[in-house]
A and B are shown apart, each in its own frame.
Chain A
């Protein structure tokens, strides 16, 4: 397994564990002070940074000669980012344009976090799927190469 795929797995699994816990905590907390809401996010983000940081250091040591990746790594990253960008844009438009009318500020905050987390989960899931070869071979008209 190449380093980039291992990074993607770490990101994906970390986000799949931390963010559901975060949103469950947010839902259970209900309408609390904005500071409490921020604190919950801060704890989630710190856990994520620590786990990903440690895992990245381990992966980096194991693949120190091949961290930059090759053309396939870049093509996969590019394709996954392009697809996840659509989710991010749609979500941010919804949060930024529709939600301000009738929602309080912490709801907007958590909705924005949700959209960003979702886009990141989709991006890393796509990266893993493309490395695993789960996607159908692209048709020439769609042109999938570096």
Chain B
């Protein structure tokens, strides 16, 4: 069975939001900079609530921030 995993576009979205820092994003959703770094790197899957908050900060729908797919197609 193919391995599926959560990926995200937070790094890109931060860049498009005027190079928003991880610390700034973390402060806005109530987590630490290290947690944002872990989410970006795929080392931690956020709670649904945190995921919605991140999407809200960037003004994007959830599926534009987080994707659920085959890892080989996502690890480009």
Q: Which residues of A contact B (CB under 8 A)?
A: 1-2, 66, 70-73, 75, 131, 133, 137-140, 144-146
Chain B residues within 8 Å of A, Cβ to Cβ: 3-6, 30-32, 34-35, 38, 41-47, 50
Q: What is the predominant secondary structure among interface residues of chain B facing chain A?
A: loop
Taken together as a complex, chains A and B put the C-alpha atoms of A75 and B41 apart, in Å, by: 17
**A140 adjacent to B35 (CB under 8 Å):** no
Selected A-B contacts with CB under 8 Å, 16 pairs = A70-B32, A71-B46, A71-B47, A71-B50, A72-B31, A72-B32, A72-B44, A73-B32, A73-B35, A131-B34, A133-B41, A139-B3, A140-B5, A145-B44, A146-B47, A146-B50
Determine whether the beta carbon of A70 is less than 8 Å from that of B30. Answer: yes
B35 touches A72 (CB 8 A): yes
Q: Are B34 and A146 in contact (CB under 8 A)?
A: no
Report the minimum CB–CB distance from B49 to chain A (whole Å).
8
Assembly CA distance A138 to B71 (angstroms): 13
User: Chain A nearest CB: distance from B41 CB in Å?
Assistant: 7
Give bound CA distance, A75 to B44, whole Å.
10
Contact yes or no, A144 B32, CB < 8 A: no
A75: chain B residues within 8 A (beta carbon): 44
Known: A137-B5, A140-B4, A140-B5. A2 touches B46 (CB 8 A): no
CA distance in complex: A70, B45 (Å): 13
- Contact between B32 and A66 (Cβ–Cβ < 8 Å)? yes
Establish whether residues A144 and B45, one from each chain, have CB atoms under 8 Å apart when the complex forms: yes
